[in-house]
C-alpha cells in the first residue's frame, strides 16, 4: 500500500503569516485586533500573538466589509453586531464566486 502524505494543518498562525494572507501590513492586523471584539488571539508569555482558524475567518469578514465593500470601521462593527449570520453567509458566497471565476478563467486559458 503506497504511503499517502497527509497535509499538515496549523492550529496557530503568527501575525506575519496572517498579514501575508491578506496582503496587508502587520500593523493593520494589530489595529483590527484592537478595533473589533471578535478577534481574540492567544498570547504567549512574551506577548506574541497567535491567531486561530476562527480568528482568520473573522479577519476574512472584516477584510470583506472594509476593503472590498468599502465600509467604515464603525459601519463594519455595526454590521457584524446587528446581523453576523447574514454577513458571514454573504462573505462566503462572494469567496465561493471568486473561486469559481478563477476556475473558469483557468479553464478558458487551457482551452485556447
Contact between 38 and 80 (Cβ < 8 Å): yes
Question: pTM of the predicted model, to two decimals?
Answer: 0.74
Reading the block at residue 90, the C-alpha cell is 454573504
Nearest CA-CA partner of 40 in 54, 20, 28 = 54
User: 86 lies in which domain range?
Assistant: 13-111
Q: Is 70 exceeded by the pLDDT of residue 60?
A: yes
Contact between 29 and 19 (Cβ < 8 Å): yes
Which whole number is the average pLDDT over 53-63? Answer: 90
Question: Which region among 1-5, 41-45, 79-83 has the lowest average model confidence (pLDDT)?
Answer: 1-5
**Residue 2 resides in a domain:** no
Which whole number is the average pLDDT over 50-72? Answer: 90
* CATH number of 73's domain: 1.10.1660.10
Estimate to the nearest angstrom the gap between the alpha carbon of 87 and the chain centroid: 13
Amino acid at each position: 500500500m503506497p504511503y499517502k502524505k497527509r497535509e499538515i494543518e496549523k492550529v496557530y498562525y503568527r501575525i506575519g503569516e496572517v498579514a501575508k494572507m491578506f496582503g496587508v501590513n502587520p500593523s493593520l492586523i494589530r489595529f483590527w485586533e484592537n478595533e473589533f471584539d471578535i478577534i481574540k488571539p492567544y498570547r504567549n508569555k512574551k506577548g506574541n500573538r497567535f491567531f486561530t482558524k476562527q480568528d482568520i475567518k473573522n479577519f476574512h469578514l472584516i477584510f470583506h466589509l472594509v476593503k472590498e465593500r468599502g465600509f467604515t470601521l464603525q459601519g463594519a462593527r455595526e454590521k457584524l453586531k446587528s446581523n453576523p449570520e447574514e454577513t458571514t453567509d454573504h462573505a462566503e458566497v462572494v469567496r465561493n464566486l471568486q473561486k469559481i471565476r478563477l476556475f473558469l478563467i483557468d479553464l478558458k486559458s487551457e482551452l485556447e
